[in-house]
Amino acid sequence: MADAAPTAPADFAARIREGYAAEGAVVGLGRGVLDGTTHPDAVVQIPAAMCNRHGLIAGATGTGKTVSLQVMAEQLSAIGVPVFAADMKGDLSGLAAPAVPNDRLTGRATELGITWTPAACPVTFLSLGGVGPGVPVRAPVTAFGPELLAKVLGSNETQRSSLALVFRYADEHGLPLLDLTDLRDLLHYLTGDEGKADLKAIGGVSTATAGVLLRSISELEGQGGDAFFGEPEFAVTDLLRTEGDKGVISCLELPAVQTEPKLFSTFLMWMLAELFETLPEVGDLAQPKLVFFFDEAHLLFEDASDEFLDQVAQTVRLIRSKGVGVFFVTQLPDDVPDVVLAQLGNRVQHALRAHTPRDAKALKAAVSTYPTTEDYDLEKALTELGTGEAIVTILSEKGAPTPVVWTKMLPPSSFLGALDPAVVKAAGEASPLWPTYSVEIDRESATELLAAKMGVPAPTTTATAPGAEGAPKPKPTVKTGSKKAKKKPDTSPVTDYLKSREGRSMLNTIARGVFSMLKK
Ligand SMILES: Nc1ncnc2c1ncn2[C@@H]1O[C@H](COP(=O)(O)OP(=O)(O)O)[C@@H](O)[C@H]1O
Ligand SMILES: [Mg+2]
């Protein structure tokens, strides 16, 4: 007790409390633990103003990542900050219902010295293109842009740049690409007899590459990818809602599309890029406009090109001044590339395993990114953390890293686990967003315009005008005939469309491209 060095265990609670103190609103995380003892005075929290410095929630499966996300979402909502979270397994749906008290939850509350009251949060459930319960979120292919689409298609560099040229061609020729059928029909056209000359004029797109793109698009359609492309386009500003003085938590329910990781992870990136494009510059706010949790983040970075990574890194860096905080959730911290990792100021690191050489390497790497601490042997601590415990360091209100602290995380006030799918479905349909997005609209687009150009009826089914040269080929998979009941293929000329508000905004989108604008 006598001469208290700055890191002496005796003043642990006071040091932590001071290190994590904040003047403004806060997002509570938990209480500090030293030598196996939880200190109710060692309050660990993130100043709301620092949430736009982004963060990482990492840890092996079952260590408490999702519950940490849930706890943070609850608190952000409580202070009026809207939250977006990708709900991979459906277990975040519990946010919409109050916790059911049990010994483990109340025991944890007692150990942390907190008053714990079960409470539900205002939640809007979203789904990708209406697959599964929740308000359908869709984007037209054009708004998605060639960069992100290439990522979904697993394209190489040549294919990616070809795709960009095809998008530009569509733009210049007033051919709206709304769904995958539009894009496929355009590629068919360009590789067919009628479009040959045009393809040549584009320059840089070989017939072979166009063929590869066609095949990968058909594959994506075969996997159900077409559901997500179309209109109405989801307005990302609909994520910035409040209910009374609480922030609405938008949960994108992904269990139904778990098998399509490339698609949904890229879709999340699209949302982030859209937010970046849409929101005004605001600098640092007292609390963020939105906090975006990017679950299963490794899926976004796997097999990503350097250019794609650069763009992700740049979006993450710049979106901060738009008042958006991004938290990546993943198993191993080195799933996130260094350029992105370096920008994540707030760290909640749950237990890591050290079974394989890969694990051991990731563990060492994780330790090396932490400020030094004399309270713990970090390498050991990271493998010994209990469920719902994490090694934490964040940015203080002054922007300096806080002391590293073993943290016992707060118990959630909302329900732990997934809600009944029927309840989620009913909640989705009761959302104020439901009337806007529930019904897909299908306007005239490239498919009809190209069909008209080639003098064949628009392919409303898999049927193709027999013998028509360059006509869209019969579609190879079940999913692909689904140009969903195109209305009025012969009316509403392109010019009308382009003069319309949607048409103009569509052209803007093409011109900007979700990502291309980021390239200086
Ligand atoms: N902060 C917490 N409070 C209470 N229980 C927790 C907490 N964190 C984790 N748990 C328990 O651990 C289980 C696994 O946590 P979860 O967040 O689903 O792990 P992960 O997402 O890392 O796979 C939860 O279902 C819950 O029972
Ligand atoms: Mg989880």
351 lines ligand 1 (CB under 6 A): no
Query: Ligand 1 pocket: which of 387, 392, 413 to mutate (most atoms <8 Å of CB)?
Result: 387
356 lines ligand 1 (CB under 6 A): no
From the CA of 389, the nearest ligand is 1
What are the residues whose beta carbon lies below 5 Å from ligand 2 (ion)?
65-66
103 lines ligand 1 (CB under 6 A): no
pLDDT of 515: 53
Nearest CA to ligand 1 atom 7: 388
Nearest CA to ligand 1 atom 12: 64
At the topology level, CATH places domain 9-98+116-137+232-422 in: Rossmann fold (3.40.50)
Q: Which of 286, 265, 278, 218 is nearest to 52 (CA)?
A: 286
> Domain-by-domain residue ranges, the chain?
9-98+116-137+232-422, 158-228+439-519
- Direct distance between the N- and C-terminal alpha carbons of the chain, in angstroms, rounded to an integer: 57
CA–CA separation, 415 vs 99, rounded Å?
Answer: 4
pLDDT along the chain (520 residues), means of 10: 53 96 97 97 98 96 96 98 94 97 98 98 95 94 91 91 94 93 93 88 89 93 87 96 98 86 85 94 95 88 83 92 96 91 96 90 89 94 97 96 98 97 96 95 86 68 38 34 36 41 44 42
pLDDT of 467: 38
pLDDT of 4: 42
CA–CA separation, 31 vs 187, rounded Å?
Answer: 58
pLDDT of 134: 96
Atom of ligand 1 nearest to the CA of 30: 1
CB 22 within 8 A of CB 397: yes
pLDDT of 222: 85
pLDDT of 438: 94
pLDDT of 6: 52
Q: pTM for the full model?
A: 0.86
From the CA of 85, the nearest ligand is 2
**DSSP letters of 5-40?**
-TT-GGGHHHHHHHHT--SS-EEEEEEEEETTEEEE
From the CA of 89, the nearest ligand is 2
Nearest CA to ligand 1 atom 4: 411
pLDDT of 491: 36
Nearest CA to ligand 1 atom 16: 64
